[in-house]
Structure 1
Amino acid sequence: MPVQPTWDVSQIDYRAIVNDWHAVCLSSEVEEDKILPIRLMGEDLVVWRHDGAIHAWKDYCRHRGAKLSLGWVKGDRLVCPYHGWEYDGQGQCRHYPAHPSRTPGPRSRAYTHKAEERYGYIWVCIGEPKGEVPAFPNWLDDDYRKVSAGPYVYQANALRAIENFLDVAHFPFVHADLNGDPNAPDELETYDVNVTPEGLTTSEIKVFQPYGDHRGIPVTAKYAFSCSSPTTAYFEKKTGDTERFCTLMMATPVEQNKCIVRLIVAINFGEELTTEQILKRQDLVFNQDRRMVETQRPHPLPVNVRDEIHLSSDKLGVEYRRWVQRRAKDHDLSILTEAPTVDA
């Protein structure tokens, strides 16, 4: 029988993101010669590092299905805890302890996945990546101070979490007296959404915010959003002629109804601000978002735009849903249905 993913391949949201990069943990969480178990899209994986190189595999030994996360690293090999099979960094088994003189065949490989290290995080693709890890424009700019925030565990769909991030109309109500005034919500002006092969971008969207950033001061903010992957989005927020408050949000789909939100904040102002002040505001805002996103029904994002009611202020959300739907039709799942074999 073919090996099927544990999640329902008919689900549009997973089909749309199977070939994307997902931030699964901080780089610092993967110590040299240690094994870190993670979960991505309903699958148990292991991430491990040797000589600085990062590996991400299915948490599964091809011999008898034991969890590799219970094993250990021996030199440049990962050892299964059940019968001691030794896998090299490419996933090929190199040693059967019960048959030490026998050379393991090519069919005894572990299930390996692509892994990259970027922006202080480990990124994994369980399919076949169609492009690079999503861009973070401010990462190499020394004028910006970068702070990682989270993780925030949402009992909610990752695409719901990203769509919420892309939405400004909720600011006065979910983030009352912080990102908006519930007694005088902004009438949102028309904005443009550009759909390109690289993803979605918007023109600036202007809003008033009583507590606009980590300094606790009122600002008139101009947001410009971009989204190059359905689970990773970015905004640049202008709060003055030169002041910029930028955020990369990564929503890792653990299960279809559970995700982990991680952030990198980049600001080019407020040298007097402490890391604690920056994190306090991020914790407040994203926990407010979490409480709301967890209530949304149905849990999966309704990508058919006829399923819900939309206003002109929802233009970005509508284009996001259409984009997800198109990507789901394009992605090939055959790479996930390899039949298990034995080394004859």
Structure 2
Amino acid sequence: MTQPLPTRRLGALEVSALGLGCMAMTDFYGTTDPGTAVRTVREAVDLGVTLLDTADVYGPHTGEELLGKAVAGIREQVTVATKFGLRRGPGNTWLGIDGSPEYARACCDASLRRLGVDRIDLYYLHRVDPAVPIEETAGALGELVAAGKIGHIGLSEASADTVRRAHATHPVTAVQSEYSLWSRDVEGGLLATLRELGIGFVAYSPLGRGFLTGTLTSPDAFADGDYRRTSPRFQPQNFTANLHLIAPLRDLADRHGVTPAQLALAWLLSRGDDIVPIPGTRRSRHLRENTAVTRLDLTPAELTAIGEAVPPEAAGARYPSHRMAELDG
């Protein structure tokens, strides 16, 4: 490890202030190269990143297998986080949500095998199952904690009410949701609830699936198999509208001599020391840019200016309608 990053607490769990999202390493953003992905994870750890985030649905399953290869030999240096609850079948078909205790137990055992670890440090319910009381799911996860198979439990895209109910059953360490300059829904009450309960927050897609990097110029540039080809915010009309939305961010970045991505991450880190963004990347240059943000010195006035430069009024929903329906609350 070349230089430790600052650390933050997710409940009782201490991790680097910036994690690494591993979804794009095997899925959703076009062609991937496993060897390059493993090297990227290793470099992230060398740069001080300790929180590595994946899910059984990525691939499916190949995301966990890849992360298992990447952490072999450095297991003690990292916090491994994965998720269960979204079911995916052959031919990229989505089979719905399953938060049943039986499924939780089966998925945990399978994830342990694929990751090649004897304990998952942070295990999330990927989406809340409306057919299963959250108390039942949280209870099953608590049993897995007691069995030593997982260290801490988390929820992804859960409402404040659901978090309260789960936390009353078994302590929740972290909640994960999309949060960035152009996705600020969690500020409507979820963050206040988490802080009341002492639960940390993990921000996925902190760079707006690449849009807040300021490097995307056309929706036609996405490769076949890239999720953004079907994402509402990246459809031609919305894409054009959102380009105008982030133009001020590029101007601010130029004035500070940094990248728009660095300003976007710096703003997110400033929203609270209980927030850990997990930007995903497959490129060494972007890894280094991202981790350098933890050393970026911006005044409160400058951070306020960043938040005001990109109003949270992105054109298009975060997901297609059928996927939006899967979000809790």
TM bracket, shorter-chain basis: under 0.3
Q: Could you say which structure has the higher helix fraction?
A: 2
- TM-score w.r.t. structure 1 length? 0.25
Q: Could you say which structure has the higher strand fraction?
A: 1
- TM-score w.r.t. structure 2 length? 0.26
Q: Which has the larger radius of gyration?
A: 1
